Chain A
């Protein structure tokens, strides 16, 4: 079974708008990571947030982590058509040290 569950399953926005994706998980974690996938092939790492961190930024990306609610959010600001992709959260550590477990992903479409 998947550890992380993203929502929404699909998100459609206009260029320039912000996109927010959420991830919930079930067991204790050491860290949570977000990945991007284009065209159903290899994933690219975006950002990693550790369990003792609450917020992290990288360029137009902002990730929050609430361990009490077992949830995380990924915000992409000022979206571009090139941001169109699938986004996955992955949890690692806790009771499964090192093993990364992925959710079902959010399909983001940014219309020019």
Chain B
């Protein structure tokens, strides 16, 4: 695709429900990142996929958070048993790896009520 695509753009969910966020990276990009951004805050690293290497999950805040990526394609970020503090914009980015420019999607705004 032309850019990184994230869906849905907005998601409102009830506390305790599970949610899945999707990211379609730019074709050919070997690296994919997920970040969380709370209102007025910086980007909090969540997870990083690079090719066939084991993902760097060091930023996942709890075991309620998980992410998968099949090959160098789509990634899904799953949040189980959502809590109000999970409310944030979740941003996905991809690049060619090797510390090159990263391209961001427009994010998914998650609101847990």
A contact residues vs B (CB 8 Å cutoff): 2, 30-31, 33, 35, 40-45, 48, 88, 90, 92-93, 96-105
Contact = CB atoms under 8 A, between A and B. Distances in A.
Interface in B82-113: 89, 91, 93, 97-107
Given A41-B107, A92-B99, A100-B102, 18 more contacts: A33-B102, A35-B102, A40-B39, A41-B106, A42-B4, A42-B91, A42-B105, A42-B106, A43-B43, A45-B103, A48-B101, A88-B42, A98-B31, A98-B48, A98-B98, A98-B99, A99-B45, A99-B48
Interface string B33-44: 101010101111
Contact of B99 (A31, A102, A104): A31
A90 B107 CA distance: 18
Given A40-B37, A96-B56, A98-B99, A2 B107 contact: no
B23 to A, nearest CB: 12
Interface of B: 4, 31, 33, 35, 37, 39, 41-45, 48, 50, 56, 89, 91, 93, 97-107
A97 to B, nearest CB: 8
B106 to A, nearest CB: 5
A33 B98 CA distance: 13
Contacts of B100: 48
A42 B31 contact: no
Tell which of A93, A102, A104 has the most Cβ of chain B within 10 Å: A102
B89 A104 contact: no
Contact of B42 (A30, A31, A92, A104): A104
11 contacts: A2-B44, A31-B99, A40-B89, A42-B104, A43-B91, A43-B104, A45-B102, A48-B99, A93-B99, A98-B31, A105-B42
Contacts of B107: 41-42
